[in-house]
Amino acid sequence: MNLTISGHHLDVTPAIRAYVETKLERVTRHFDHVIDMNVTLSVDKLQHKIEVNVHLRGKDIHVEATEPDMYAAIDLVADKLDRQVLKHKEKRYSDRHSDAMKYQTGQESHEIQETQQPAA
């Protein structure tokens, strides 16, 4: 995974960089098909804004959060991103599973129709 952290009107300190890396590491534990992440930290009128763009295989996810405290904003955006990645993962795997179930139910109904035909 390629992680890019940049600051807009803000110097990204090593402490903030380490905190962002540990919080966003949780996403790769749930879903390992993350290609890259772009994190933008900014300050505007005492509000700290965090924007995260995640490029997954087949989908891009954008999450942002605004809080008076930088670390609270990072926590909030990590939680939002975690929920969206899990939702995407569940959709991917439920689609695969439902296709298999459709095939099985179609095959079973075909077998039932063959057994119900009267003998001539």
pLDDT in tens, 61-97: 999 999 999 999 999 999 999 999 888 888 877 766 6
Question: Distance between CA atoms of 71 and 73, rounded to whole angstroms?
Answer: 5
Considering the entire predicted model, what is its pTM?
A: 0.73
9: left (phi over 0), alpha (psi -120 to 50) or beta: left
Residue 118: is its pLDDT beyond 90?
Answer: no
**Fold exhibited by the domain 2-109:** Double Stranded RNA Binding Domain (3.30.160)
Locate the domains of the chain by residue range.
Answer: 2-109
Site of tokens 């975690």: 82
Residue written as token pair 């439902």: 98
